[in-house]
Structure 1
Amino acid sequence: MLNTLEREGYQTAIISSNSKEVIKQVLRRHRIRTISQILSSSAIFGKDQLIRKFLKEHRLKPSEVVYVGDEQRDIVACKSAGIKVIWVSWGYDAKELIQSQNPDFLVDSPGEILDIVFEQLK
Structure 2
Amino acid sequence: MKYKAVIFDLDGTLVNSIYDIADAMNTVLRKRNFNTFDYETYKSFVGHGVRSLILKAVPESPEKANLVDVCLKEMLDIYSNCCTDKTHPYPGILSLLEELKSKDVKLAILSNKEDSLTKKVAAAVLPDYIYPTLGLIEEALKKPNPKVLLQICETLNVTPKECVYVGDTRADIQVAKNANMISVGVSWGFRDQEELVKEGAHHIINTPADLLEIL
2:132 to 13, 34, 37: 37
For residue 9 of structure 1, what is the aligned residue in structure 2?
A: 104
* TM-score with structure 1 setting the length: 0.84
Ranges of 4+ aligned residues in structure 1 off by more than 4 Å? none
Tell me the secondary structure at the aligned position of residue 146 of structure 2. helix
* TM-score with structure 2 setting the length: 0.50
Contact 1:88 1:106 in 2 (8 A): yes
Counterparts of 2:200 and 2:105 in 1: how far apart (Å)? 25
Task: Note the C-alpha offset of 1:75.
Answer: 0.6
Q: Let me know the Cα RMSD of the aligned residues.
A: 1.7
**How many residues align structurally?**
117
Task: Note the C-alpha offset of 1:91.
Answer: 1.1
Gaps of 5+ in 1: 118-122
Letter in 1 for 2:189: G
For residue 167 of structure 2, what is the aligned residue in structure 1?
A: 69
1:89 aligns with 2:184: no
Of structures 1 and 2, the larger Rg is shown by 2
For residue 154 of structure 2, what is the aligned residue in structure 1?
A: 56
Gaps of 5+ in 2: 1-95
- Which segment is superposed worse, 86-95 or 25-34? 25-34
Counterparts of 2:208 and 2:144 in 1: how far apart (Å)? 26
Counterparts of 1:31 and 1:96 in 2: how far apart (Å)? 28
1:80 aligns with 2:178: yes
